[in-house]
Structure 1
């Protein structure tokens, strides 16, 4: 099941790159990528629907507590990212990598909002695949568990290949975030705690895209 699950992000990356090439319209390219990610999102949910249903029953009574924990985890994540980037900058003597908000703000405002829709699906797909299929299913197996945490975190970082044009140094912070999210799952023992944490983390990017769009519209109309 883990191997089949990994085919989803691989297919998303390959198909996303292959299918958009014939089109010159940025809008069409963004829509194609959104559709591909949506299909991957549906497949991942279908494959692990039993896990999602079981964990939701346990998570639902403690939703607000889980939300507060998720907010705290997101704050830690946004502290962790610049720390890792700064450390890499000192170690590699390079400038810190740009974050997701900077990437979004560089896009056309309207396209940025449409493109950011993938970030609303990513928490489900990525947590199911990288945290559940490639880590949590291997729990209680001694050193294998922690080797899978490292492996799944590396794969999670590499999945952001297109976000950073293949720059490995910019993916390393997301590998660290992947490990952090893996530990959250290990401690909480509930996939929905991870999905909610990841969703709130990514939602900041959606807000950034909307903010850029609003500021652009205000500038145009002003």
Structure 2
């Protein structure tokens, strides 16, 4: 942990560089005259519509969640069998339980996705004849690069949003405690624990949450409801599930940015990379910036 008497200048330098890059990219992608032109490639919707009946979508979501619970139960028993002293009631144990559930979610997405691809050839599932499709999605390589850019834009937008939101909460007398995961990171007692927490925050959480909130939730709403509603509802749910008032508005804004990025690129890898880098940056700041009151 950093020495409070010698604050590091690294966070200031990195945040400044991220913000500068984010400002340039925001201008190029969204604010410049070329980007605001109606036919601009930056404004194209590359996200293909799901021609999926509502009942099938809801059943698929239920099946994915059920698969998460099944895998959580099975792997939980295996872990306890291999290590009788392991407790899922500890902080690390609860996070391990969450990680196993997320692995089940990923397996459920893979399985249900394969089934839906098979069903795409059945009546009522395919693309209606004569229906034009959007511009093809970005390649994975381009999506990775754009995802890094989306991360920079997110840093640029969230710094003032977070500051204003915390000021507003303090103005009305609300406390703004840190998220529980932040305290667990700072209390990590071994390299193995820290490695697990990094894997959870930087890899597993971004992949699972982007599949749920962008790949399923936003994509289904994208062409069925007004744009503002499709952006807002997944964002509100995403922010509420983090159960932290201090991060509610920043996470809502982050979700909206990610949803727009997914819509403009058509490739979920974009937001997975941006989400992973955002979490990695947050973790790095924990070790570079002294905790309040230190």
TM-score range, shorter chain: 0.5 to 0.7
- Deviation per CA, 1:96-127, whole angstroms, max 9, x where unpaired? 76589954542214333323322212222212
In the alignment, which of 183, 186, 197 is matched to residue 260 of structure 2?
Answer: 183
In structure 2, the partner of 1:5 is 61
Instruction: Indicate the RMSD between aligned Cα atoms, in angstroms.
Output: 3.7
1:37 counterpart = 2:119:
no
- 1:219 is aligned to none
Mark the CA change 1:46 to 1:25 in structure 2 (over 3 Å): closer, same or farther.
same
> Which of the numbers 148, 151, 160 marks the counterpart of 2:230?
148
**For 2:204, which of 118, 121, 128 is the aligned residue?**
121
CA distance in 1, matches of 2:282, 2:59: 30
**Residues 144 and 269, structure 2, Cα contact 8 Å, conserved in 1:** no
Q: In the superposition, relative to structure 1, how do residues 151 and 27 fare at CA in structure 2: closer, same or farther (>3 Å)?
A: closer
Distance 1:121 1:59, change over 3 A: farther
Match of 1:193 in 2: 270
Secondary structure in 1 matching 2:187: coil
Mark the runs of 5 or more structure 2 residues left unpaired by the alignment.
Answer: 1-56, 77-86, 118-135, 289-294
Structure with the largest fraction of helix: 1
| Aligned-pair CA distance for 1:175 | 1.3
Instruction: Determine which structure has more spread, i.e. the larger CA radius of gyration.
Output: 2
Q: Does residue 133 of structure 1 match 2:216?
A: yes
Q: Return 112-121 or 70-79, whichever deviates more.
A: 112-121
- Is 1:74 the counterpart of 2:151? The answer is yes
Q: 1:106 aligns with which of 158, 181, 186?
A: 186
What is the deviation of 1:29? 3.6
Matches of 2:181 and 2:152 in 1, distance apart? 15
Within-5 A mapping of 1:150-169: 150-161=232-243, 167-169=244-246
For 1:100 and 1:184, the matched residues in 2 are separated by 28
Q: Counterparts of 1:113 and 1:189 in 2: how far apart (Å)?
A: 31
- Quick one: distance in 1 between partners of 2:59 and 2:257? 22
Structure 1-normalised TM-score? Answer: 0.67
